[in-house]
Amino acid sequence: MAISYYMIEHKFRRVPVTYEKLDRNKYDLILGKDAKQIFYAYHVSSMHGLDIVSCKKRIDEGHSYIDGLSNYHPKDKLQDRKLNPFIFLNIGCLQNNYSNDEIHTVIMHETMHMSIKLFNYQWDTHEEEIITWAEQEANEIIKLLKTLRYI
């Protein structure tokens, strides 16, 4: 696992100065201090119907914009996964607005979206594998976030 970002200590929790991008083999896990970080991670101003201008406006109004997101790499126009898809978790929002149980639910929600992508939307023939992968991956992410002291 590669962490290529600076970290600061704040109130006994590790808080990302910007974001962390972790290679999870089949996808990238991006942990950001706020929703803007997903745009910064990919050096884009818009992706998947979202844009940085709306994001900044929503944050300035006191909201989170997005709590999590699972999607294809924004430059993967063919959606053939030659560029890793991603799961983004808005750590700042999750820490400030959710209980640990609710954080676990957000993580499971995003891993379920990723699992469906990774199994090429073959729900009819891979239902159990899709759900099992999402559960196992959610548990691994939860352990990772606990290790990093985010939750």
Per the structure, the count of domains in the chain is: 1
Burial of 86 (0-12, 13-18, 19+ CB in 10 A): buried
Tell whether the model's pLDDT for residue 147 goes beyond 90: yes
Name the pLDDT band for 1 (thresholds 50, 70, 90). Answer: very low
Q: Is residue 134 part of a domain?
A: yes
Q: Is residue 92 part of a domain?
A: yes
Q: What is the pLDDT of residues 68-104, one digit of tens each?
A: 999 999 888 877 778 899 999 999 999 988 999 999 9
- What is the C-alpha separation between 3 and 123, in angstroms, rounded? 33
Q: Is residue 19 part of a domain?
A: yes
Q: Where in the sequence is the domain holding 77, given as residue range(s)?
A: 7-147
What pTM value is reported for the model? 0.84
Residue among 5, 61, 54, 52 nearest 30 (CA): 5
Q: Is residue 2 part of a domain?
A: no
- What is the C-alpha separation between 33 and 114, in angstroms, rounded? 21
Q: Is residue 138 part of a domain?
A: yes
Mean pLDDT over 52-80 rounds to 88
Q: Is residue 1 part of a domain?
A: no
